[in-house]
């Protein structure tokens, strides 16, 4: 593809898989891609949880295919990829959004906690990418966007396994970019800063914590979901065709190293 400048962000005619779209940021990513013209494959562990959102995407004039996917189950991954390929013929974009977190002090993390987080956030991401990229390679084109986190580059107490998984996402992104670039597939990591999600909503109920985290962000506020729209479309579009293996932090400047607030309140 060699689009003119007015087509750099146009996804018309393309198909995107977004994992974990029953709620949260996954829906915002899917919605942003649909607004840019893409048809969607929506996934969740329970297909019925996608019904309302699929109807919303279709009301925008886009196709929306709802598929079950458990990223901790290899058979489920392979089945989703095959069904998506069969339905659309070509998958152009994959947004690896599905993830989980268990917030605990490191001394309280159990073996099962660790496995649940790493299996979902890292192992699942790799095998979903592997299953979907086969079709991308066959067509000589693909965009893979791995959703990481500010914890991909920063450490935070109470998030040891989560931070390990997101740091792994950053490294995985670079390895896959090197592996698959020769096939016309780019792989990048989109790393949000502090955004309110189902995983961390309890933190946002603490006014002192919100003030603390806002003070550490140069733009003086946590992120809003629509702040990610431009980044996900950019990494999915031809505008980013010569960018691969990179981590794009959308964090309001938090990773500039601002440490104005010195004592964090308890969540």
Q: How far does the chain reach from its first CA to its final CA, in angstroms? A: 48
Sheet with 185-192, edge to edge strand ranges = 64-68, 39-44, 15-18, 93-96, 142-147, 185-192, 247-250
Average pLDDT, the chain: 91
CB-CB contact of 147 with 97 (8 Å): yes
All structural domains of the chain: 5-252 (3.40.50.720)
Reply yes or no on whether the pLDDT at 111 is more than 80. yes
Q: Which of 28, 141, 162, 212 is catalytic?
A: 162
| 153-206 residue pLDDT tens | 888 888 899 999 999 999 999 999 999 999 999 999 999 988 877 666 677 777
Reply yes or no on whether the pLDDT at 53 is more than 60. yes
242 classed as catalytic? no
Over range 216-223, report the average pLDDT: 86
pTM > 0.85: yes or no: yes
**pLDDT band, residue 263 (cuts 50/70/90):** low
């Amino acid at each position: 593809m060699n689009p003119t400048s007015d087509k750099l962000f146009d996804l018309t005619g393309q198909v995107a898989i977004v994992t974990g779209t029953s709620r949260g940021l996954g829906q915002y990513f899917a919605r942003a891609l649909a607004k840019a013209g893409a048809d969607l494959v929506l996934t969740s562990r329970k297909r019925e949880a996608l019904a309302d959102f699929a109807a919303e995407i279709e009301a925008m004039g886009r196709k929306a295919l709802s598929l079950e996917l458990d990223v901790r189950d290899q058979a489920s991954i392979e089945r989703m990829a095959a069904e998506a390929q069969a339905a659309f013929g070509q998958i152009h974009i994959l947004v690896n959004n599905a993830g989980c977190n268990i917030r605990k002090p490191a001394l309280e993390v159990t073996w099962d906690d660790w496995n649940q987080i790493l299996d979902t956030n890292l192992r699942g991401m790799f095998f979903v990418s592997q299953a979907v990229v086969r079709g991308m390679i066959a067509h000589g084109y693909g965009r893979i966007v791995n959703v990481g986190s500010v914890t991909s580059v920063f450490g935070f107490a109470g998030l040891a396994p989560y931070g390990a998984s997101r740091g792994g996402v950053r490294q995985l992104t670079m390895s896959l970019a090197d592996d698959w670039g020769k096939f016309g597939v780019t792989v990048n990591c989109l790393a949000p800063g502090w955004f309110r999600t189902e995983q961390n909503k309890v933190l946002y109920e603490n006014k002192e914590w919100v003030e603390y985290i806002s003070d550490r962000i140069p733009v003086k506020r946590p992120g809003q979901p629509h702040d990610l729209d431009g980044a996900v479309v950019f990494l999915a579009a031809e505008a980013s065709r010569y960018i691969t293996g990179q981590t794009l932090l959308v964090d309001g400047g938090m990773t500039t190293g601002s440490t104005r607030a010195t004592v964090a309140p308890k969540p």
